[in-house]
Amino acid sequence: MAKVLDSVDQRTQLVGENRLELLLFRINATQLFAINVFKVKEVVKLPPLSSLPGSHKSVSGVANIRGTSIPVIDLRGAIGFSPMTDAQERNLIITEYNRSVQGFMVGKVEHIVNMTWSDILPPPKTAGTHNYLTAICRLEIDDVINMVSIIDVEKVLAEIINYDIRLSEGVLDEELAKKMVGHKILIADDSSTARRQIKETLEPLGIEILEVSDGLQALQLLQSWCDGGKSVYDEILMLITDAEMPEMDGYKLTSEIRSDERMNKLFVALNTSLSGSFNEAMVVKVGCDRFISKFQPDLLVGVVQDCLRK
C-alpha cells in the first residue's frame, strides 16, 4: 500500500489526455467500488479509533495517523448499506476533498487501474436520483467482467458536513451585483450535489444556470451554438467545470475549447474538490482562467465578479 500513490509529476502526465487512475476496493463481498487516485493521499490498515461524541452516525471515530487526527467515515454505512463490523477486513483510504482530510473505512483494497474517461459512463437512469454514484465502468479482472461503481464522495460528504453557502460580508461588489442579473453560466459537473451547491450560491444573485453532467455534453453544447451561427460569448458569461467527469474530463474540455478559435476566449473556471499545487499547475497547463477549490462560496462569487470585470 505504500506505493499506492504516484508522485505529483507522474500524475500530471495524465492531465489533458482524458485519462484517470481508479483505486478499486470492496465494501461487501460482491461489488467493486472506486474513487479517483487523485483524491487519495494514503491507504493503511484501519488503526484503533477514538470516539467522537455528537458526530454524524456515519463517522466511526477519529484515527491518529502520525500525530494527525483524521475523522473516519464508514463508507459502507454512509451509502446505505449496514455498517461494517469488527469481523470484516477493514482498511482506511485517506483522502483530501474540499481542503479537508478524511478517511473512508472500506473492506479489501484491490489495486489501481489506468483508464480513459471515455470508458467511464454515467449511472443508468434507472438508478434514480438518490444513489451515491457519479459513474460506472466495466473492467475485466482475471478474465471476469466486473461492473465498478465510482462513488460520489461529494454527496457523501455533503450529507455529513454542513456546507455554509452564505457569503461573507464585503465579498459582493454591489455595482457588479447589478450586472450579474440575467447572465447565464454553464456548469459541467457529474455530481448533482456539486451542481446544486453552485446553483444555490449564484441563482439568488440573478444568474441563470445551465447544467450538464460531463465534459462531452458541455463541449457538444458549445459546438452546437457555434455551428448554428451563435456566439458562445453571447450565450454564456463563463463555464465552470469540474475536473473529473465521465466521457470527458474538465482538463480535456478546456483544451478542446482553447483549440477552437470560435470559443477559445471563453472564461473557464476549474471547480474541483482536488486542491493544492497539483491543480494550480494544471490551470497553467490546460489554459483555465481560474481554479476554485470546492466548496467556497466567497471564492466562487469572486471569480464570477473577476469575469465580469474582464
pLDDT at residue 278, rounded to an integer: 55
Residue 133: which residues within 8 A CB-CB, separation 6 or more?
123, 127, 149, 150, 151, 152
Q: Pull the grid cell for residue 167.
A: 457569503
pLDDT at residue 12, rounded to an integer: 44
DSSP string across 193-208: HHHHHHHHHHGGGT-E
In the chain, CATH 2.40.50.180 sits at 17-160
The whole-angstrom separation of Cα 65 and Cα 42 is 10
pLDDT at residue 5, rounded to an integer: 42
Q: What is the CATH number of domain 174-309?
A: 3.40.50.2300
pLDDT at residue 122, rounded to an integer: 83
Residues 17-160, CATH architecture: Beta Barrel (2.40)
In degrees, rounded to 5, the angle at the alpha carbon of residue 269 between the alpha carbons of residues 166 and 207 is 50
Give the pLDDT means over successive 10-residue stretches in the chain (310 positions): 43 57 87 87 92 89 92 92 80 86 93 84 72 86 83 88 82 91 95 90 95 94 97 97 86 92 96 65 77 87 92
**Nearest alpha carbon to residue 210 among 241, 166, 231, 256:** 241
Q: What is the rounded (10 degree) CA torsion for 122, 127, 129, 135?
A: -20
> What are the backbone angles phi and psi of residue 288, rounded to the nearest 5°?
-70, 155
pLDDT at residue 129, rounded to an integer: 64
3 state SS of 144: strand
